Structure 1
Amino acid sequence: MSLQNTIKTSVHLTGIEYYGGNYVETVIKPAEENTGIIFRTKNGNIKAKLDYAAQSRSSILLNNGRVQILNVEHILATLYAYGIDNALIEIKRTPSKSFRLLSELGLTTGIEVVPTFEDREKTLCDKLDGAGIEQQRTERKELRINKPVYTEKLSFEPINSGLILVATTNYPIPGEQTVAIQITPQSYRDELSRSRPYAKHAPVWLPKRLVSAIAAVMFPSFGIGHGFDSSKVFLPVKNKEEWYKTQRYPDGDEIARHTMVDRLGALALLNGRLEGVRVLARYSGHENDLRVLRELIHNFLLH
Structure 2
Amino acid sequence: MNSMSPQTHVSFLPPSRQQDGQMQHTLRQPISSVGVGLHTGSRINLRLSPAPENTGITFRRTDTDLPALAARYDNVVDTRLSTVLGQPDRGGRIATVEHLMAALAGCGIDNAVVEVDGPEMPVFDGSSAEFVFLLECAGIAPQAAPRQHIHVDRTIRVEEGDAFVELSPGPQPGLAIDISIDFPAAAIGQQRYAARMEGELFRQTLSMARTFVLQPEIEYLHSVGLARGGSLDNAIVVNGASVLNPAGLRHPHEFVRHKMLDAMGDLYMAGGMISGQFRGHKSGHTLNNRLLRKLFASTENWHRAPLGATAPRPQTRAA
The interval holding the TM-score normalised by the smaller chain is: 0.7 to 0.9
The answer to whether the 8 Å contact 1:6/1:136 transfers is: yes
Gapped regions of structure 2 (runs ≥ 5):
1-20, 304-319
In structure 2, the residue matched to 1:256 is: 256
Kindly provide the CA deviation profile for residues 131-158 of structure 1, in whole angstroms up to 9, marking residues without a partner as x.
2211111122211123444444111232
* 2: CA distance, partners of 1:247 / 1:272: 32
**Secondary structure of residue in 2 paired with 1:78:** helix
* 2: CA distance, partners of 1:12 / 1:119: 18
**Secondary structure of residue in 1 paired with 2:231:** coil
In structure 2, the residue matched to 1:7 is: 27
In structure 2, the residue matched to 1:104 is: none
Residue 28 of structure 1 pairs with residue 28 of structure 2: no
Kindly report which structure 2 residues correspond to 1:142-153, keeping only aligned pairs within 5 A, or say none: 142-152=149-159, 153=164
* 2: CA distance, partners of 1:36 / 1:86: 4
In structure 1, the residue matched to 2:179 is: 167
In structure 2, the residue matched to 1:225 is: 228
Residue 185 of structure 1 pairs with residue 181 of structure 2: no
Paired AA for residue 136 in structure 2: D
Residue from 84, 88, 91 that aligns with 1:61: 84
* 2: CA distance, partners of 1:23 / 1:242: 25
Task: Return the offset for 1:198.
Answer: 2.1
Paired AA for residue 210 in structure 2: R
* 1: CA distance, partners of 2:173 / 2:143: 21
Percent identical among aligned pairs is: 25
Paired AA for residue 183 in structure 2: Y
Task: Return the offset for 1:120.
Answer: 3.0
Residue 51 of structure 1 pairs with residue 74 of structure 2: yes
TM-score, with structure 2 as normaliser: 0.77
Kindly provide the CA deviation profile for residues 6-32 of structure 1, in whole angstroms up to 9, marking residues without a partner as x.
011112221100211100010100011
**Secondary structure of residue in 1 paired with 2:213:** coil
In structure 2, the residue matched to 1:155 is: 166
Residue 295 of structure 1 pairs with residue 308 of structure 2: no
Paired AA for residue 302 in structure 1: W
* 1: CA distance, partners of 2:242 / 2:208: 21
In structure 2, the residue matched to 1:98 is: none
* 1: CA distance, partners of 2:108 / 2:44: 25
TM-score, with structure 1 as normaliser: 0.81
CA RMSD between the two structures: 2.5
**1:75/1:197 CA distance change after superposition, 3 Å:** same
Greater share of helix: 1
**Secondary structure of residue in 2 paired with 1:298:** coil
Gapped regions of structure 1 (runs ≥ 5):
94-111, 205-210
**Secondary structure of residue in 1 paired with 2:277:** strand
